[in-house]
Structure 1
């Protein structure tokens, strides 16, 4: 069975080398584009018009040599995983070692043996496909922010102190709803609900880190810092309510159950990081701020208000969003009364 073709970028200042290599690569089924030097190659890689699967890189070139290109790729989070096979006439073990240390997958001496080149390209493309599949799986089971944090910082159990905003959201009357609907209908309802909530939270810079039944927890300000985390969370909550109002209208028109949600938001210090084991872990936040947001969400049922926030969130809003003070409230699990505000 033929190996899958790749999108290759060949970088070589010698026109004859470019013609010969391009011919070999085309015969192998690959689509190949060329650059005459390192600077042009980086422009093509960063141009955004096309994504490449592999870079074939010469070392001795004008304007920017291969070593400089490798260093640039290694420093660029968007390009550091691009496989690079160096093809060079430079002799010396030190040059090979330098290329490998800078991130090259392999080093082939010129003139390049076409059979060996084919094998090296095949192995490099297979590695890239495995990395791409792994990245897609991480993105599917983690948010973009968490995936980006894993890519840049790596995985380690533990946490760090951050200041941010936590949101809890829950469907009202979900237990009775489950009893009146089939499992397939409930799953379809939850999928629509989560799609709408994820969209609103994500566009406001939040990270959904937990989904439990009909509830979710979102973080604003971790793992990546976020300016105006409190305001972003409140704006996300307002958009979530607007989306649910539209969804209720559609459900009502179709004679289906309508969903109402309650949202609690709290701002403050917390510990954010990966918790669990080396085999299975999740990104989350812990601390009094998290507990307070959960209690505020639960209190929306008694307060008959869809969005409740704490005093720290209210202070950071600085009047940007209309709110209504509900006074000190004794929340379950809190020793002292908490000043609670309803978002209007």
Structure 2
């Protein structure tokens, strides 16, 4: 038996070959699902959950080459290891299989010792790739992780229209001085859990956390139909969540959290910044600076949320805001009209 059994898909149009190969695999401790041709194999793969494919080449309807091509073109399947088991001879065919993404090629009849070695090696690679994907999902958002899988990694950015949201806890320094560090961390974790949920639920990604503050991006890397509206709806949900959280905190005589939110919409340069060794998905530009200034200005105005004119005009209910005309911000040559949203 193996230490880490896998779930394998055995694809072969010959019933005898299919059953004998599946028996050999099951004797090694793995679970097997069978498919008698390429079309059925692709249907099985669409259901998900497989760790490896043992694939024949000469099959009716859809042959092994076409199955390999389909797997390689699917972002969700391209990391799935495939071992070709075929009686098709010729170096050209073997090379074609490898070029289409096969991990290995085993000629029929399959040698059981060689099969065991290949399965162990491929499943270990699959396990490591799964761990990398899990880590990527833990330290990057689903959207960024998907962008990396689909387009690859490269330092640089592109100009896009997006909305940027900044959020900060009010008087956090004083709040943290009155309690144990462990309690402060627990409070921050609760705050981030609520904020992340509200932001991601409306298509945004949190791309920066600094202490008690965060920066979120709407419209990149995944485009949104109305990024500004999505950001505003997310912000309102964030405020609602904080109100519910504070009501619970009050009942337990625990510290409450007040937040300020600033949202700006317009052109940003979004992409991967850093080095080949260490980088993050972020955005820069005057829109980012404007959102940061708006968040900070909520303290001066004494409100929970401020947005710029671009965001205000994109919101379906512009009448729900109060205009603050000609506000001067550091780093901006001209005063800005901003809006306090209900």
TM-score (norm 2): 0.98
- Shift in Å, 1:289: 0.2
Aligned partner of 2:241 in structure 1 is 243
Q: Greater shift after overlay, 274-283 or 263-272?
A: 274-283
Q: Does the Cα contact within 8 Å between 1:272 and 1:285 map onto a contact in 2?
A: yes
Deviation >4 Å, runs of 4+: none
- Shift in Å, 1:62: 0.7
- Shift in Å, 1:93: 0.3
Q: Does the Cα contact within 8 Å between 1:321 and 1:343 map onto a contact in 2?
A: no
Q: What SS does the corresponding residue of 2:188 show, helix, strand or coil?
A: helix
- Shift in Å, 1:56: 0.4
Q: Does the Cα contact within 8 Å between 1:12 and 1:35 map onto a contact in 2?
A: yes
Q: Which consecutive unaligned segments of at least 5 residues does structure 2 have? A: none
2:326, 2:31 → 1: CA distance? 67
1:89, 1:255 → 2: CA distance? 74
Aligned partner of 1:309 in structure 2 is 307
Q: Which consecutive unaligned segments of at least 5 residues does structure 1 have? A: none
- Shift in Å, 1:321: 7.4
1:164, 1:281 → 2: CA distance? 21
Q: What SS does the corresponding residue of 2:5 show, helix, strand or coil?
A: coil
- 1:191-206 correspondence to structure 2 within 5 Å: 191-206=189-204
Q: Does the Cα contact within 8 Å between 1:3 and 1:122 map onto a contact in 2?
A: no
Aligned partner of 1:8 in structure 2 is 8
Q: Does the Cα contact within 8 Å between 1:165 and 1:267 map onto a contact in 2?
A: yes
Q: What SS does the corresponding residue of 1:326 show, helix, strand or coil?
A: strand
* Cα distance change, pair 122–220 in 1 and its aligned pair in 2 (3 A): same
- 1:311-326 correspondence to structure 2 within 5 Å: 311-319=309-317, 322-326=320-324
Q: What SS does the corresponding residue of 1:162 show, helix, strand or coil?
A: strand
**RMSD across aligned positions (CA):** 1.1
Aligned partner of 1:273 in structure 2 is 271
- Shift in Å, 1:319: 2.3
- Shift in Å, 1:121: 0.7
Aligned partner of 1:221 in structure 2 is 219
Q: What SS does the corresponding residue of 2:232 show, helix, strand or coil?
A: helix
2:169, 2:319 → 1: CA distance? 24
Aligned partner of 2:76 in structure 1 is 78
- Shift in Å, 1:175: 0.8
Aligned partner of 2:298 in structure 1 is 300
**How many pairs are equivalent?**
342
> Is 1:27 aligned to 2:31, yes or no?
no
2:319, 2:258 → 1: CA distance? 22
- Structure 1, residues 217-252: CA drift from partner, whole Å, max 9, x if none? 000011121110000000000000000000000110
* Cα distance change, pair 135–102 in 1 and its aligned pair in 2 (3 A): same
- Structure 1, residues 27-79: CA drift from partner, whole Å, max 9, x if none? 10000010000000101111x3x410000000001111000101111111111
Equivalent in 28, 44, 69 of residue 67 of structure 2: 69
